[in-house]
Amino acid sequence: MDNDVPTDELQQVFDELSQEEAQEEASQKLESSLLSDSDPEILREREREYRDDEKHWVRRNSWLKVAKEIASDAREKHGRGLRYFTLPGFYRLDVSLLLKEKLLEVEFDADGTTVRSAYVAAFESDPTKHGRMVGHLPEFRLFGLSNIEDALTVEANPYYSQLVELFPFDIINLDLTTSLTPAHEGPYSKTMKAIEAVFSRQAEYASKWALFLTFRNVPSDWETQTLEQLFGELQRNLDQYPKAHEVFRNTYSENTVSQLSSKAPERCISQAVAKWLVDRANSHNIRLNSMYCYSYQRYPLGIQPYLISKHVFTFSRGQVLPGNIPTKGTPRQSWMEDNVITCIERHRCVDVEEKLYRLSENVPGFLDQLRAEISELCHSIA
Measure CA 211 to chain center. 7
pLDDT of 188:
74
pLDDT of 301:
79
51 Cβ contact partners less than 8 Å away, ≥ 6 residues apart: 17, 374
3-state secondary structure 296-315: EEECCCCCCCEEEEEEEEEE
Note whether residue 322 is domain-resident: yes
Note whether residue 268 is domain-resident: yes
Q: What is the tens place of the pLDDT at every residue in 39-57?
A: 444 544 555 544 589 999 9
pLDDT of 2:
45
Say whether pLDDT at 125 is over 70.
yes
CA dist list (Å): 213 to 59, 156, 198: 12, 26, 12
pLDDT of 31:
33
Range of the domain at 213: 37-380
Say whether pLDDT at 17 is over 80.
no
Measure the CA dihedral 137/139/142/148, to 10°.
-10
pLDDT of 180:
86
Note whether residue 19 is domain-resident: no
Could you tell me which residue, 313 or 381, shows the higher pLDDT?
A: 313
Choice among 83-97, 291-305, 349-363 with the minimum mean pLDDT: 291-305
168 Cβ contact partners less than 8 Å away, ≥ 6 residues apart: 83, 201, 202, 204, 205, 209
Please give the Cα distance from 314 to 298 (Å, whole number): 26
For residue 61, what is the DSSP state?
I
Measure CA 291 to chain center. 13
pTM of the predicted structure, to 2 decimals: 0.83
Say whether pLDDT at 340 is over 90.
yes
Note whether residue 10 is domain-resident: no
Nearest Cα residue to 286 out of 311, 313, 319, 312: 319
Note whether residue 5 is domain-resident: no
pLDDT of 232:
95
Per-residue pLDDT band for 179 (boundaries 50, 70, 90) equals: confident
Helix residue ranges per DSSP H, the chain:
7-28, 40-47, 53-58, 64-78, 93-100, 127-133, 148-153, 160-166, 190-202, 224-240, 242-252, 257-263, 265-283, 334-345, 352-362, 366-380
Per-residue pLDDT band for 329 (boundaries 50, 70, 90) equals: low
Please give the Cα distance from 214 to 94 (Å, whole number): 13
pLDDT of 38:
43
CA dist list (Å): 219 to 34, 216, 227, 305: 30, 9, 9, 13
% residues pLDDT > 70 (the chain): 81
H or E stretch including 286? strand 286-298
Note whether residue 141 is domain-resident: yes
Tally of domains in the chain = 1
Note whether residue 25 is domain-resident: no
Note whether residue 193 is domain-resident: yes
Could you tell me which residue, 236 or 111, shows the higher pLDDT?
A: 236
Choice among 32-36, 108-112, 145-149 with the minimum mean pLDDT: 32-36
